[in-house]
């Protein structure tokens, strides 16, 4: 499938950074090249949400030269990369396997070919506006469905697009409520309830909704809108991988024939099974 000389890592990253400019990342974030030599050849790109040990092993097994992930490996300071720690073992696996790691995190959240647009598409939204502007970047999206839907139908339609997880999709709101205006934010989103209310959204699709912020949001709503949908952190951001793959290949143009791409099949959602789930709300 590869035609001609391989692309260098720098050539690939030039394209990636046009799609997801590092300058558009939030100031606290850590994006960009983590391991790798800009001059190394790239034959295969592996895309994943998390740079876990299993994902790195998958990338090495498939012969990937570049692992492109959403979540950073080294977001907070570390003082050792010895293999006695998980992060150290991951760095070692990347270096020994000659796999470059590149991170597009909050810069991928805000991009036109990013996480929030992918989630908005999965919800059936057409035109969207930013939910909020943070550090001059459009964080989250809000838009209207073509026609009102029952809350249950909206969530069931969304679930078709999401990868299966042990926790599934959690919903706070009456199943038969009609909704049309939808706000979305891939990943953790329970710090944006004020923006969701200001947007007039009937439902908010996000993840990592903690007990107190979610309960307080429902109390403020007095049982009405906005209803809440917790799609799971990994699942809500996994949707981006297919969009990023297509965007990268389109941006590479004729050079796309010189590189292969592959989306990780490793489920990096940390939860493995569920016991005692109750749909009726009875303690």
Q: How far apart are CA 88 and CA 150, in angstroms?
A: 48
Question: For the chain, which domains are there?
Answer: 7-105+237-263 (3.40.1390.30), 110-231 (3.40.1390.30)
Q: How far apart are CA 101 and CA 33, in angstroms?
A: 6
Tokens of 133: 């502007």
pLDDT value for 3? 57
| Whether the Cβ atoms of residue 59 and residue 46 lie closer than 8 Å to each other | yes
pLDDT value for 279? 76
Angstrom CA distances, 86 to 68, 82, 179, 198, stand at: 19, 9, 43, 42
pLDDT value for 1? 46
| Whether the Cβ atoms of residue 162 and residue 206 lie closer than 8 Å to each other | no
Phi, psi (5° rounding) for residue 105?
A: -105, -100
Q: How far apart are CA 112 and CA 226, in angstroms?
A: 25
Q: How far apart are CA 227 and CA 178, in angstroms?
A: 10
Residue that the structure tokens 């699709």 belong to: 205
Q: What is the pLDDT along the chain (283 residues), one digit of tens a residue?
A: 455 789 999 999 999 999 999 999 999 999 999 999 999 999 999 999 999 999 999 999 999 999 999 999 999 888 899 999 999 999 999 999 999 999 999 999 999 999 999 999 999 999 999 999 999 999 999 999 999 999 999 999 999 999 999 999 999 999 999 999 999 999 999 999 999 999 999 999 999 999 999 999 999 999 999 999 999 999 999 999 999 999 999 999 999 999 999 999 999 999 999 999 887 666 6
Tokens of 257: 């024939």
Phi, psi (5° rounding) for residue 220?
A: -60, -35
| Whether the Cβ atoms of residue 158 and residue 204 lie closer than 8 Å to each other | no
pLDDT value for 171? 98
Tallying the residues shown for the chain, one arrives at: 283
pLDDT value for 282? 64
Q: Which pTM does this prediction carry?
A: 0.95
169-178 residues labelled b (16+ CB within 10 A) or e (exposed): bebbbeeebe
Name the strand (E) or helix (H) holding 121.
helix 115-122
């Amino acid at each position: 499938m590869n035609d001609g000389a391989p692309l260098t890592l720098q050539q690939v990253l030039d394209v990636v950074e046009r799609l997801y400019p590092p300058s558009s990342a939030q100031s606290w974030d850590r994006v960009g090249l983590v391991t790798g030599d800009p001059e190394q050849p790239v034959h295969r790109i592996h895309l994943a949400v998390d740079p876990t040990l299993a994902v790195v092993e998958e990338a090495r097994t498939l012969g990937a030269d570049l692992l492109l992930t959403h979540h950073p490996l080294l977001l907070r300071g570390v003082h050792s990369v010895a293999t006695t720690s998980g992060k150290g073992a991951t760095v070692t696996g990347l270096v020994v396997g000659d796999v470059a790691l590149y991170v597009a995190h909050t810069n991928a959240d805000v991009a036109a070919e990013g996480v929030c647009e992918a989630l908005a598409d999965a919800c059936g939204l057409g035109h969207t506006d930013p939910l909020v502007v943070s550090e001059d970047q459009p964080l989250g999206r809000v838009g209207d469905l073509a026609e009102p839907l029952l809350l249950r139908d909206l969530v069931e339609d969304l679930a078709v697009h999401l990868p299966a997880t042990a926790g599934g999709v959690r919903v706070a709101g009456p199943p038969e409520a009609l909704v049309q205006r939808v706000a979305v934010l891939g990943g953790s989103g329970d710090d944006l309830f004020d923006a969701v209310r200001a947007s007039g959204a009937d439902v908010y699709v996000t993840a990592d909704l903690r007990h107190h912020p979610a309960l307080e949001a429902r109390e403020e709503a007095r049982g009405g809108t906005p209803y809440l949908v917790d799609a799971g952190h990994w699942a809500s951001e996994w949707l981006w991988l297919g969009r990023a793959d297509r965007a990268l290949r389109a941006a590479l143009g004729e050079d796309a024939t010189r590189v292969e791409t592959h989306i990780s099949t490793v489920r990096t959602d940390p939860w493995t099974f569920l016991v005692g789930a109750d749909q009726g709300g009875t303690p």
